[in-house]
Structure 1
């Protein structure tokens, strides 16, 4: 396993529960997570329940709802969809990563152990690491994110690409000194979206993103404050602006959004991609982690000690690629919605589809990994 992020660690847990010996290699010197808050939808929580850690995950999260408002504070209603299509769990990425690392077993994680290359054979794969050592395995799982080194070898010519003009700013700060009566997500002007959500531990997670952003100037805080006006009515007070103003500059995370283009394949006979390594997408649908957790669960269901690795990976790819092609279509409908009301409606349509029961998944293949 390459990558000790959410998907890599969840894959490790799923494979261990299937009876497979797992070693997770992580190039960083510690378990850490880039980002702040993370939304987990019901399908991800069902996976964690299946893996025996659902209650622990819920204990570090706050039940929340994904409803949108306009800058005047009016709810953008989507009456054709039910309440269950709006509910998710907000967790802190770093806390979730620590929980997953404990569940997979710290002894099964090799830190400061970056991936270099692999050599694939009929009966296995040899993984060469950046420190000059190597390991033999039956299967290599590349869960090493949008900039995946495993993908670069497995599917050359498909590097991560900028989602041009799409920027995001976010932070988690203590709620002390603020009255935050509810969670609020706002669809504003100039292609801006943002808001704030209360966490389970007395903090507030705020975010703001913009499609088609002009070139950036000033500090990260100045950039957010320039855009937060697009999320409020003229002259009206803004709790979001107050939260941003109270955030230390060094706590603000600012990113150019990166995407992985559609890949012609995700697997070979002995190598497989999962999570952002295979399908990094825009966070405006806030489902990347949940969909990656689904990847991990499917690998755990398909792989079992002693058998046909290529058949299992082929079944995984056959299931996943069409699903993500449809995700891309639904995500594009949200992004290019002409009005805030249409954005809200397309978003609810996406979450409804994602949470709906999927067709019967492939049968487990007996393998050793």
Structure 2
């Protein structure tokens, strides 16, 4: 069996690795001239780490990460306790996106990745799919995996009329500061006023990852640093905005990333007979639940469990869709409960409820060895 994967990000590369470990011939096409990752820090929850363990790279992933916990504080510095949930519902691994994608590319095998080659269209047949590429070439496969992100070109053909759309008024600012110049004794995530959230987490190599975001924000003005500082002011009762503001001040403007948050609306289907969507191509969601990558890694694992040489591809993809769509309907419900929480305490409780559900429900779909 042969698989073509479109997209050389975390989910595309994990899909390629999961399929290769099942004995499937895989090629990953990436439109960029190199494997690279937009963004900064990335949280991986226990269910993603379990997938990487099954794929034989768990120790290598942990070696580039730092264990962290997702507890929230209010702007006065008080811990927002969630006693009905355990410590395991708050723990994750913080990694740098670029380091993780490099690790995954090595695991897939660089010879199995074609760079600077984008997806143009596909022609689906009863027993194969022909993939047309932007350089004018074609490839033939038993299955096509669209893991090409929120703006997926594969999705545009498979599910026309469902482009990524703005999450109105939701913006995020973030950066990795290699040398913070501060003695940080812990990590901190803060829920503040004016629907702002932010904080900082130390990285495994001595740096710090900081983030601020806001729901219902007016159109941002000024430099990225000024925009981030304006939100940080809602996250501390102190006169100068606290440590988070100091980290933002210390960050060079060119290191600060700003994004209007984009979502993929619910799709009526994720598959056809020989084409399937995974990760953000199928379900790009708000990062306020910090689980998009973890859930996308689960998609890749399930594809690896269902597909194998000699498998009935249409039946396998139908089983994948039957599993994934209901799961993500529940993700959307839990995510909305977090977003629309009326108080910081409710935000913290709904967030812990989501992570508990995600971690306990994922056990229903273990990756086969």
Which of 260, 264, 267 aligns to 2:264? It is: 260
Backbone CA RMSD of aligned residues: 1.3
Which of 57, 61, 81 aligns to 1:57? It is: 61
SS of corresponding position for 1:22: strand
Which of 64, 85, 88 aligns to 1:84? It is: 88
- Asked if the contact 1:163–1:259 (Cα under 8 Å) also holds between the matched residues in 2, the reply is yes
Aligned equivalent of 2:142: 138
Which of 322, 346, 349 aligns to 1:345? It is: 349
Measured at CA, do residues 358 and 246 of structure 1 come closer, stay the same or move farther in structure 2, by a change above 3 Å?
A: closer
Aligned equivalent of 1:354: 358
In the alignment, structure 1 residue 154 sits paired with structure 2 residue 158 = yes
Tell which deviates more after alignment, 263-272 or 355-364.
355-364
The structure 1 segments of at least 4 consecutive aligned residues displaced by more than 3 Å after TM superposition are: 357-364
In the alignment, structure 1 residue 121 sits paired with structure 2 residue 118 = no
Q: What TM-score do the two structures reach when normalised by structure 1?
A: 0.97
Aligned equivalent of 1:217: 221
Residues of 2 paired with 1:192 and 1:216: CA distance? 14
- Asked if the contact 1:196–1:207 (Cα under 8 Å) also holds between the matched residues in 2, the reply is yes
Q: How does 1:100-111 map to 2 (within 5 A)?
A: 100-111=104-115
SS of corresponding position for 1:304: coil
Query: Could you tell me how far 1:234 is from its partner in structure 2?
Result: 4.2
Aligned equivalent of 1:274: 278
Which of 32, 53, 65 aligns to 1:28? It is: 32
Residues of 2 paired with 1:253 and 1:53: CA distance? 29
Aligned equivalent of 2:74: 70
Q: What TM-score do the two structures reach when normalised by structure 2?
A: 0.97
Aligned equivalent of 2:239: 235
- Asked if the contact 1:143–1:275 (Cα under 8 Å) also holds between the matched residues in 2, the reply is yes
Residues of 1 paired with 2:208 and 2:326: CA distance? 37
Residues of 2 paired with 1:17 and 1:123: CA distance? 23
Q: How does 1:281-360 map to 2 (within 5 A)?
A: 281-358=285-362, 360=364
Unmatched 5+ stretches in structure 1:
365-369
Query: Could you tell me how far 1:186 is from its partner in structure 2?
Result: 0.1
Deviations 1:319-360 (A, max 9, x none): 000000000000000000000000000000000000004475
- Asked if the contact 2:233–2:241 (Cα under 8 Å) also holds between the matched residues in 1, the reply is no
- Asked if the contact 1:276–1:292 (Cα under 8 Å) also holds between the matched residues in 2, the reply is yes
In the alignment, structure 1 residue 186 sits paired with structure 2 residue 193 = no
Residues of 1 paired with 2:311 and 2:182: CA distance? 58
Unmatched 5+ stretches in structure 2:
none
Deviations 1:119-158 (A, max 9, x none): 0000000000001000000000000000000000000000
SS of corresponding position for 2:73: coil
Query: Could you tell me how far 1:361 is from its partner in structure 2?
Result: 4.5
- Asked if the contact 2:262–2:285 (Cα under 8 Å) also holds between the matched residues in 1, the reply is yes
Query: Could you tell me how far 1:203 is from its partner in structure 2?
Result: 0.4
Deviations 1:3-46 (A, max 9, x none): 00000000000000001000000000000001000000000000
Residues of 1 paired with 2:72 and 2:366: CA distance? 37
Residues of 2 paired with 1:49 and 1:362: CA distance? 11
Residues of 1 paired with 2:319 and 2:299: CA distance? 12
In the alignment, structure 1 residue 2 sits paired with structure 2 residue 3 = no
Deviations 1:211-236 (A, max 9, x none): 00011111100111111110000426
- Asked if the contact 1:11–1:296 (Cα under 8 Å) also holds between the matched residues in 2, the reply is yes
- Asked if the contact 1:14–1:296 (Cα under 8 Å) also holds between the matched residues in 2, the reply is yes
